[in-house]
Structure 1
Amino acid sequence: MKNILNGLKAAAARYNSTSLILRILIGLVIGVILALLLPGWTWIGEMGNLFVGALKAVAPVLVFVLVSSALAQNGQSLDKRFGTVIGLYMLTTFLAAVLAVVMSFLFPQQLVLADAATADTVPQGLGEVVHTLLMNVVANPLEAVASANYIGILMWAILFGFAMKAVASDSARAFMGNVADAVSMIVRWIINLAPFGILGLIFTTVTTSGLSIFTDYGKLLLLLVSTMLIMALVVSPLVIFCCLRVNPYPLVLRCLRESGIPAFFTRSSAANIPVNMELCDKMGLDRNFYSVSIPLGSTINMDGAAITITIMTLAAAHTLGVEVSIPAAIILSVLSALAACGASGVAGGSLLLIPMACSLFGISQDVAMQVVAVGFIIGVVQDSVETALNSAGDAAFTATAEFMQWRREGKPLPAFLTRRHKASKEHK
């Protein structure tokens, strides 16, 4: 028995000492192999459900305790960096919509419209989306935590944090810090099990999703994914370069690797909040800042959603022979960017905002809901890439805002961001 325990301890130590990304890739490969060889072992997929469920359960609590604790202890997290990161979130969401318009004009798509999708809640206009967003701000705090309403969680956490700073004793504020540290440790334990979760998720995906999405809607899916990749690998790095004046790819690729890969498989921005916070901690960012900016980004940094809404709407217009003028395309870009920021407050996310955008071109609700149905069919891939783009952007732009502050204060940028830049200069 003692030898068995020692063997388990040695295996656990070896597991923990291996890179998390390498472990995730191994889990991915094993998941694909098991799905092909043993598709009837559906219990394997439960590991993925447990992993995503655990992340979704702990994320709202983590956000609340981190934000309120940070503000109670110093209250300095809402400084110039906060305005910078909001500006970056909004700018890139708009640029994503513009990019989607350009790509749709270059590669117009035809849809096969058949059965209409159904939904309980479909917003009738931008006003309804904004109303939903504002109501989420003042939602019951307990209900906000239970339903993962991050706008509401942020609002109440900020108010509670400032209130505790004003009335609580030093020992009470220290206790809040200890609670935040304890919840963060629980999150690290859950993230450490990510390879098993990814294994279960990829097993379920391979065994349940056929190849029809690639044969029937391959061109549309290719356009969506290509546009999102251009946004992630060209447009966003260009924005970061303009802000920092250094090679942006070490930061971009690190965020895609450590945030985008888990988000691709979980397909949930909420579930990836703890992953992004862990990444920000590794990059040496200020926890008082990223504990606010990361959950906010999961709500308003919606590059992928803006791309999906725009491309699907223009595909419907092209299918029906509706002429889209340049002014109308610009209005669509603005509408898609604003609507995407409110997507998390609408049941069904970005796909259910397509009818609202379609109404801009006089496309009927019935036809628009058929477009939504197409979106659900290709959602296995489209939603995964969309979530990866959004989540990696949350971490990348949070880091960019932080590093801009470092520059203003005369602090050196982290080695991983400047190493290649310096090496190229020395080579020259």
Structure 2
Amino acid sequence: MTLARVFEQLAGAEAPVEFTAYDGSKAGVPGAPIRFDVRSPYAVSYLVNSPGALGLARGYVTGMIDVNGDMIEALTTMQQVLSDVTPRDKARIVAGVLRDPLLRAAMSRRLDPPPQEAPFSRIPSWLRHSKRRDAKAISHHYDVSNTFYEWVLGPSMAYTCACYPEEHSTLEEAQFHKHDLVAKKIGLRPGMRLLDVGCGWGGMVMHAAKEYGVKALGVTLSKQQAEWAQKAIADRGLSDLAEVRHMDYRDVTETGFDAVSSIGLTEHIGKKNLPSYFSFLHGKLKRGGRMLNHTITRPNNLAPPRKENGFINRYVFPDGELEGPGYVQQQMNDAGFEIRHQENLREHYARTLTAWCRNLEEHWDEAVAEVGEGTARVWRVYMAGCVLGFNQNWIQLHQTLGVKLDEDGGSRMPLRPDWGV
């Protein structure tokens, strides 16, 4: 059985893609916008011996499987054409593959995972989230290359969901609006002190200092992020107000902050640590201080918070865990915060990721030269897959605003939200 025949049995003879294989077989529609190339029989080993979509990802990251065309469109199309394939169909096709001596030999060989796969992502949950492990997990994803991130993220260097104020706003406009939305929600004013945990490349810290005259401290576990941010702060003349430190948020000793922002850190904390995390942030605030938590969530808590064999946990965010928005809010509330506002920005994250995908494609050759083709491929398929995830409500993005009440129960909040849209 040729691989083209296998593809036809899976996707149908008229699937709106082109398929080619190392054995010279072809299927699908010649000249289609999307073309899948299987370059090695060992791709079959990854596909058969790896759980779920992990095998496809391993084949793509190693270059045994290639995708020509827009990756978002490719994943969307394959999701549609393979949606009706049943386990019985898969079993029948595997049986046909086994009749081919070359494919049978390739399938029987167990291949090592690509080097881009985090080797420490599969340990028991009770061993996760020590300071040392968290630093290692963060470094795996964020200490890739500041130059690479500049190409993907653009000038804002903001690696979190943007907020698009208008239908046709640019990525940079949307990232500025996101930082300003956070600043307004937490009520920043000149002379205040802000703690930004998981600050990345310092976007929120610099925004608070420049636009609001706030003395802002940011902390990150990524050494490369901290070095880039400190240089950017100095270059922009903000050193008297803004600071970014390479450290664990748990090691911040200062207290009495007027506001706290957590933009994209909660995903890395772990479910069992959320109570202590929010309690720690609550303890850093003055009475009447506000905390804004901006985090990726899942629509509900019916499934485990992480897929142990999932591509994201193996390649992108080792030890990452997502919770439902209600659970996150409950932990904030139980830590002492009064919840004042919550909103879901999942469509905004789909737009943000689409813009990052476009940036990567525009800098593809430079990105491959900078970080290697395997890592660039990880990013290409990861971001495109997340576009589908946010568009189809597999994952969400919630901003939740809490306040540390006065001793008499006062919130110091306006009667109605004053931060606009």
Which TM-score applies when normalising by structure 1?
Answer: 0.25
Which TM-score applies when normalising by structure 2?
Answer: 0.26
Higher relative contact order (CA 8 A, sep 6+): 1
Q: Report which of the two has the higher share of helix.
A: 1
